[in-house]
Amino acid sequence: MSEFWTAVILGIVEGITEYLPVSSTGHLILATELMGFDQSQWEVFNIAIQPGAILAIVLLYWRTFWDVAKGLFGLDKGALNFVRNLLVAFFPAVLLGLAFGDIIETMLGNARLVAWTLILGGVAILVVERFAKPVEAGGVAAVSLKTSALIGVVQCLAMIPGVSRSGATILGAMSLGVDRKTAAEFSFFLAVPTLTGATAYQLYKHGDTLSSDDMGLIGVGFVVSFFVAWAVVKAFLAVVTRYGFGPFAWYRIVAGVAALVWLGVR
């Protein structure tokens, strides 16, 4: 398979999985493993195409971001709280990423770890869905400072491949009493600084090793992930509102078991 089509496939995987509680990083690792490519060759690519998915959120929620931007100039309390909550939730990932970045990178090639965390994450979703008692939060701006900070701490679990950034933040928020819709939107908005920071850091760290061909492939993955993420996010909230997160939990468990079986017999 040509590198172009590999970039297209990985862009599709990124777009589908980034905002679902199924782990985009884990699926990208398994996808490169399944296609027989050197994982280290695609590590930077897998992170660098994330801005495509970020752009999808920015454009889908452009009115929210525009209202927040206008509110900041007018010192509107809701806008200030919105930004405060996201920055507070983003901060723990910055500290942990800078402190343990090298250790985290060594885990990115461990497909078996991904398979196990997919399974364990699926079980965690079922437990939270069963026992969490979320109430209407009233939107991201209405989430308390303490809850936002705790969501940020939980997000750090997603540095383990297969855990899922969106899954950790959504379930963490729900376990703290935040309703499904607000928890999902908090996760979407938190992705903007988190994924932007991770991408900028990786390009700063490895940018001098990227050729013009590499940048071209990143561009392909960026465009593909943008359009796919756009479609997936629009459908995600409707599915969650009607069925909850249970379908994603069972998918994770089945995918994790299948991955373990495949890794064991290949």
pLDDT of residue 255: 93
Could you tell me if 46 and 14 are in contact, meaning their C-beta atoms sit under 8 angstroms apart?
yes
The helix or strand, by DSSP H or E, that contains position 133, with its residue range, turns out to be none
Please report the pLDDT score of residue 66 as a whole number.
Answer: 93
pLDDT of residue 23: 86
Q: How far is CA 69 from CA 60, 79, 84, 191, 225, in A?
A: 16, 7, 13, 18, 26
**The predicted structure's pLDDT at residue 75:** 87
| Residues of the chain with confidence (pLDDT) below 70 | 1, 37-41, 100-105, 107-109, 136-137, 206-207
Q: Is 36 left (phi over 0), alpha (psi -120 to 50) or beta?
A: left
The pLDDT value given to residue 107: 65
pLDDT at 108: 66
pTM of the model: 0.82
Task: Give the model's pLDDT for residue 207.
Answer: 67
DSSP secondary structure of 34-53 = HTT--HHHHHHHHHHTHHHH
pLDDT of residue 223: 94
* pLDDT value, residue 101: 65
The per-residue pLDDT for 169 is 92
pLDDT digits (tens, 9 = 90+) for 185-229: 999 899 888 888 878 877 777 667 777 777 888 889 999 999 999
Given a contact cutoff of 8 angstroms between Cβ atoms, the answer to whether 53 and 10 are in contact is no
